Each structure stands twice: as structure tokens, then as C-alpha cells.
């Protein structure tokens, strides 16, 4: 039986980052993976979807070339090539993780891992053979998958999850997207840009329901302007896949209606991968589909830890990575501070993009803060206008008493690359006045952050 200091179960952005940090800290480390290194994020999520979205963005530019004074007489898309490019990007990234494993002398144990008492783990390979390993510390990072609703069972062909949506054999003429979180909105944008007739069905009153209400309303306007049908306060109660396509019965406040499409994409959240991995045998406590951990990701059983989507924090790649690093640094005995989950940025990569961190305006008021709110539209930004991307705005929320930056919400082109300013500033407890006095470059989209802060303090110049 091989013995390690640390074994990580799962090689997604939580697992492989955790393994690398453990190796850097001098631990003899192994990672268990049943499929492809990089997990869902690199192979079926974050990375390949961005490749699809980039193709959609380029196609959109071609459609609107005339707006930029350019004439493009002939252009078209090759859906199959777009998908192949996306898969190529994913494969390249997965090979990159393979290189990092070798570079950091991390053993990759291929197969399905099952936890055992006594800090042991069985790994069943593709040949059916099982090998037992042990470690002083076992870290669970098995991630999550597409959640299925009883009213929306996935068959992988007519009712699909995000995985199938990335590799459809042919482009559908009509698609219904159920759920308007990041996954649903990104695929709705992609397929609409490619020419598919898309309808988004959202159970909550607003699309991207976790975002600030003003962002949600702007997103709905932008989607409708691009030809996407949006149904809010609506629920798919049943689907009929017996015919050539799909008939989805949608319950709305005005009654029921039946939508017809070639395919339905279910994007209603995720289900953690905690079944069959030995939690019950070891005695690891769970609650509502999540593994219970403390601030340092220790479970109730010494020597077993959990990070990423299987724990109660936000199910985001960057959260999983941060949790894994903190977990192994704590194991090493380093001084670490618990993660502030109210300072985690969230990003949606459709067009316009959405990025946010901290309190929404509503949440700040409910928390009892007396607030100052500033908003700057990209329609007043020289860089946005020059780039032909004037949709959207930056909104900031400050505590009126102490100047604490409570929240930042952005919608527009490239805002996912801008949100880090707010994250770092909030981490450093920066005040609104300090942001105002930090000179921002002109002309840039990032000026809108400074201008929004200026608006909060009645000092805005360009509005």
C-alpha cells in the first residue's frame, strides 16, 4: 500500500490547485481522478465555454462590421468547427495540468476513489482492479454536476445539461434554456449569436437572480434587444419528447403555455458529487447535499477535509482554488485567515458581461447600513462608445458613515476583467475617497469605477 502525506480526491480547479500547493509545501502528494485532469471546469465548464463565447463574439463583430466602417461581403459560421475549437482549447488546458503534475512530482492515481476509515482510499481503475492508498490527510474535491428536476429529466439528446450543450452534433433551430444563472445566460447568448431562436425561462422574477436588481433589469433589456425571448416568474412543469422536437409546458402568472423547440437546456443549478465516495462508511457529516466543514475545511473526522462545490460556500472555480490553498497551508501550520465569502467576485460571461462583489443595494439596506450609491453608465464612457459597447453601467455602494465599500456591480463589455479592483480594494478596507484619489487611466472602461464612486459622493464629472 502506497503512503502519502496528502491525497486529493478530484482534480478540478479545487483539487489540482490544492495538490500543487501541497507539493510546494513539501508534502508527498497524489491526486485521484476518474476522468480528465482539470475536472469539469477545464474540460466541460469554465474554459471551453469561454472559447465558444469568443467565437460568438467574433461572429457578432462580423455581423456588425458596418457599424465600424468596415465592409465584409461574405461571412458565415461553421458550427462544427466552433465546437471543435472549444474542445481543442479544453484539451490543451488539460495537458497543461498534466505538465504541472509532473513538474511538481505529484502522482496521478487514475480511477474512481472511495474513502475508507483510517485515512485510506480505494482507487478502482478502468481495468476494474482496486488499489488501496493511505495518507495523513485526505482532501475531498469531487465537485458537482448538472442538477436534474423531476419535471425536467435529462435524456442527453432533447433535454440536455451543460455538458451536452457544448458538443451538440448540429446547431438547433430553436432552444429553450431553463434557468438564468451564469450557465443558462452564457449558453443563451452563444446559441442566439449563432442564429438559434432562444427562449429563457426563469422561475424567479428577475434573470441572473443573485445579482443586483438594476443589473438584472439591464440584462433582460439587452437580451431582448438581441432577440432572445425572456420569461420570468415562469416554471417548466413538464416536457414532451415523444415527437420530433420537445414541447415544454410553462406555467406563468397569466396561465399555462406550450413552447416548442428542438432542444431544452436545463441550467437549474448543480448537484454535488458526494454519492458513492465513502462518506457514510467514514462517518463524515453532511447536510443538504453538502459536506460540513469548519473555517479550515476540516470535516468532523480528523484527517479528512473537503473543499469546493461539495462544501457550503459559493460553487465557483476560484473559490475552490482559494479553499484548497488555505486548507493545505493550515495543515502545514502556517498562519491563515478564513476566507471572507462576502468578498468573492461572481462573473457571467455572456454579452453584456456581468461581474459583482459584496452587498447588493437591497442586501446592504437589509443589513442596516446607511448607504451612498453611485452609478455610471457606459453610454457616458469614451472608451465604451469608441468600442461600440455602450450597454451597461458600474454601480457602487458605500457605507455613508465610514466610507466602507460595501458592494460593486457591473454589467457591460469586459467587466469580468474589471471587478478585481473592487475585490482588492475591499480586502484592503479602502474607502470611497481613496478610490476617487487613485488616478484611473483615460480612456478605459475601468474609469467607470472611479466615475461611479464620484457619483456616490456627488463629485462626478462626466455625467
Residue 183 marked as a ligand binder:
yes
Does 214 belong to an annotated binding site?
no
Binding residue per annotation — 125? no
**104, exposed or middle or buried, with CB in 10 Å at 0-12, 13-18, 19+?**
middle
What 3-state DSSP class applies to 384?
helix
* 309 labelled binding-site residue: yes
Would the annotation count 182 as a binding residue? yes
**CA pair distance 260, 239, nearest whole angstrom:** 10
269 is in an annotated binding site: yes
Q: Binding site annotation covers 325? A: no
**110 annotated to bind ligand:** no
- Residue keyed to cell 459597447: 389
In degrees, rounded to 5, the angle at the alpha carbon of residue 207 between the alpha carbons of residues 201 and 209 is 120
CA 149 to chain centroid: 20
Whether residue 309 contacts residue 143, with contact meaning beta carbons closer than 8 Å, is answered with: yes
Is 180 assigned to a binding site? yes
Cell numbers of 263, please? 432542444
Tell whether residue 194 is among the known ligand binding residues: no
d(CA 307, CA 39): 14
243 is in an annotated binding site: no
Flag whether 14 is marked binding: no
388 is in an annotated binding site: no
Read off the C-alpha cell for 222: 439587452
Instruction: Please report where in the chains the cell 461572481 appears, as a residue.
Output: 346
- 273-276's contacts with Cβ under 8 Å and 24+ in sequence apart are 273/10, 273/142, 273/143, 273/144, 273/145, 273/309, 273/310, 274/142, 274/310, 276/114
Q: Running DSSP on this structure, what letter comes out for residue 440?
A: P
Reading across the β-sheet that carries 174-178, which strands appear in turn?
159-160, 263-266, 174-178, 197-201, 229-231
The span from the CA of 172 to the CA of 373, in Å, is 43
Enumerate helices (H) and strands (E) in the chain, giving the number of each: 14, 24
3-state secondary structure of 116: strand
CA distance 407 to 372: 11
Please, where are the H alpha helices in 159-312? 162-165, 182-194, 213-225, 279-282
Residues recognised as catalytic: 442
**Binding-site residue ranges for NAD(+):** 179-186, 202, 269
**Binding-site residue ranges for FAD:** 50, 113, 309
**Binding-site residue ranges:** 50, 113, 179-186, 202, 269, 309
Amino acid at each position: 500500500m502506497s503512503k502519502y502525506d496528502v491525497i486529493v480526491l478530484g482534480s478540478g480547479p479545487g483539487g489540482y490547485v490544492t495538490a500543487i500547493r501541497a507539493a510546494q509545501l513539501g508534502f508527498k502528494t497524489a491526486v485521484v481522478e476518474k476522468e480528465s485532469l482539470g475536472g469539469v471546469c477545464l474540460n466541460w465548464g469554465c474554459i471551453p465555454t469561454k472559447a465558444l463565447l469568443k467565437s460568438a463574439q467574433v461572429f457578432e463583430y462580423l455581423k456588425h462590421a458596418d457599424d465600424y466602417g468596415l465592409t465584409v461581403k461574405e461571412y458565415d459560421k461553421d458550427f462544427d468547427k466552433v465546437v471543435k475549437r472549444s474542445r481543442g482549447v479544453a484539451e490543451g488546458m488539460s495537458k497543461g495540468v498534466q505538465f504541472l503534475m509532473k513538474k511538481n512530482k505529484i502522482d496521478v492515481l487514475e480511477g474512481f476513489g472511495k474513502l475508507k476509515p483510517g485515512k485510506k482510499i480505494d482507487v478502482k481503475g478502468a481495468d476494474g482492479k482496486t488499489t488501496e492508498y493511505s495518507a495523513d490527510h485526505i482532501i475531498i474535491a469531487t465537485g458537482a454536476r448538472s442538477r436534474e428536476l423531476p419535471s425536467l429529466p435529462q435524456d442527453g439528446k432533447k433535454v440536455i445539461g451543460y455538458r451536452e450543450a457544448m458538443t451538440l452534433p448540429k446547431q438547433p433551430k430553436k432552444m429553450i434554456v431553463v434557468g438564468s444563472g451564469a450557465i443558462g445566460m452564457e449558453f443563451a447568448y452563444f446559441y442566439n449569436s449563432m442564429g438559434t431562436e432562444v427562449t429563457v425561462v426563469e422561475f424567479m422574477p428577475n434573470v441572473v437572480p443573485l445579482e443586483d436588481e438594476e443589473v438584472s433589469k439591464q440584462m433582460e433589456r439587452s437580451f431582448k434587444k438581441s432577440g432572445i425571448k425572456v420569461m420570468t416568474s415562469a416554471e417548466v412543469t413538464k416536457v414532451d419528447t415523444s415527437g420530433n422536437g420537445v414541447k415544454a409546458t410553462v406555467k406563468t402568472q397569466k396561465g399555462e403555455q406550450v413552447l416548442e423547440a428542438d432542444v431544452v437546456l436545463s441550467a437549474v443549478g448543480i448537484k454535488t458529487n458526494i454519492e458513492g465516495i465513502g462518506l457514510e462508511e467514514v462517518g463524515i457529516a453532511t447536510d443538504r447535499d453538502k459536506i460540513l466543514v469548519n473555517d479550515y475545511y476540516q470535516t468532523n473526522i480528523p484527517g479528512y477535509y473537503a473543499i469546493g462545490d461539495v462544501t457550503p460556500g459559493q460553487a465557483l472555480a476560484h473559490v475552490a482554488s482559494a479553499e484548497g490553498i488555505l486548507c493545505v497551508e493550515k495543515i502545514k501550520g502556517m498562519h491563515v485567515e478564513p476566507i471572507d465569502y462576502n468578498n468573492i467576485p461572481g462573473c457571467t460571461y455572456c454579452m453584456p458581461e456581468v461581474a459583482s462583489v459584496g452587498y447588493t443595494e437591497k442586501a446592504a439596506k437589509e443589513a442596516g447600513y446607511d448607504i451612498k450609491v453611485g452609478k455610471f453608465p457606459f453610454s457616458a464612457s469614451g472608451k465604451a462608445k469608441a468600442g461600440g459597447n455602450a450597454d451597461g453601467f458600474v454601480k457602487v455602494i458605500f457605507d455613508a458613515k465610514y466610507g466602507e465599500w460595501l458592494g460593486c456591480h457591473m454589467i457591460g463589455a469586459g467587466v469580468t476583467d474589471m471587478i478585481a479592483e473592487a475585490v482588492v480594494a475591499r480586502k484592503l478596507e479602502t474607502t470611497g475617497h481613496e478610490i476617487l484619489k487613485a488616478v484611473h487611466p483615460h480612456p478605459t472602461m475601468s474609469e467607470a469605477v472611479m466615475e461611479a464612486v464620484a457619483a456616490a459622493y456627488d463629485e462626478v464629472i462626466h455625467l
